[in-house]
Amino acid sequence: MSNTVQMSNTALWCICEKSTLFIQNDSLPCCRREELPFPAGEAITIAEEDGLPVFLASPVGDHPQFTSFRSMLPVDDRRYYLISRALSLHNMMTNHTFCSHCGHKCTLARKEIAMRCPNCHALNYPPISPCIIVAIHRDDRLLLARHASHANRLATVLAGFLEAGETLEQCVEREIFEEVSLRVKNIRYFASQSWSFPSQLMTAFTCDYASGEIAVDNVEIHEADWFSSTNMPEVIPMHGTVARRLIENFISSFTDK
């Protein structure tokens, strides 16, 4: 996609700062550039919505309070796509300013969304880190765990990053064994979700318990246990996340009967 912009047109604006956005009237601002309530830097076109270009830019100087994307969940699929795309591309432009080949400062490529080195002409595209997230079923129970990084007693399904050379299924097996010492079988694809914090692609699976007793690693996982559909923990993932969908899928498999 070319990132050439027509700055005189009304457009949707994704104004990003780290993993936060400027929201106007509970939505992305739709206006001309000069109508934004604060100065914005260089803008690029990242999508089109209802015939309008969608611009991505960063704030310049003082600006109003921005909003965390996480706090906006759930949002409709189209708005989720636009915001997730904006945050991922903003991460690319913020964190890949120097060429990994020769060290020169990069600029934004003109004909595609990538960072281009003017010295060696290398192109660096937006990084995407593949991850797995998995619901483990054991008859009428689901394994949920509390992670070391969660301070609010959140109980959720297991997840982890794909390692070099692995298939997604191998990653599922390894992460489960490393974190809770269980073996699983019947690994099945469920769904996927872009998770731009900063640039993950979550691939969700379900699987069945095969063998072993729960033994948490005490590094990433502090607690783990089996829960029935009628006895869920008090705090589970928020709506709008694929983790919540995995849990709701398990619950509905019993309540719909």
Judged by phi (left if over 0) then psi (alpha if -120 to 50, else beta), residue 82 lies in alpha
What pLDDT, on a 0 to 100 scale, did the predictor assign at position 256?
63
Residue 178 has pLDDT above 80, yes or no: yes
Question: What pTM does this model have?
Answer: 0.89
Give the residue with greater pLDDT, 224 vs 151: 224
Question: Is residue 186 within 8 Å of 207, Cβ to Cβ?
Answer: yes
Residue 121 CB partners (closer than 8 Å, separation 6+) = none
Question: Is residue 209 within 8 Å of 136, Cβ to Cβ?
Answer: yes
pLDDT band at 5 (very low <50, low <70, confident <90, very high): very low
Write the burial class of residue 82 (CB in 10 Å: 0-12 exposed, 13-18 middle, 19+ buried): buried
What pLDDT, on a 0 to 100 scale, did the predictor assign at position 42?
87
What average pLDDT does this structure show over 56-67?
87
Give the position of tokens 């206006």: 31
Instruction: Give residue-wise pLDDT tens across range 96-135.
Output: 999 999 999 999 998 888 999 999 999 999 999 999 999 9
* For the chain, the helix, strand and coil percentages under 3-state DSSP, each to the nearest 5: 20, 35, 45
CA-CA-CA-CA torsion for 51, 17, 126, 14, nearest 10 degrees?
0
- With a pLDDT cut of 70, the percent of the chain lying above it is 96
| φ/ψ of residue 64, rounded to 5 | -65, 170
What pLDDT, on a 0 to 100 scale, did the predictor assign at position 57?
93
d(CA 12, CA 53): 6
**Mean pLDDT over each residue of the chain, to the nearest integer:** 91
d(CA 160, CA 205): 12
Fill in the DSSP letter of residue 98: B
d(CA 230, CA 208): 19
Residue 201 has pLDDT above 60, yes or no: yes
What average pLDDT does this structure show over 42-59?
92
DSSP 3-state of 238: coil
As given in the structure block, the two tokens for residue 256 are 């719909």
Give kind and range of the element (H or E) at residue 222: strand 221-228
What pLDDT, on a 0 to 100 scale, did the predictor assign at position 151?
72
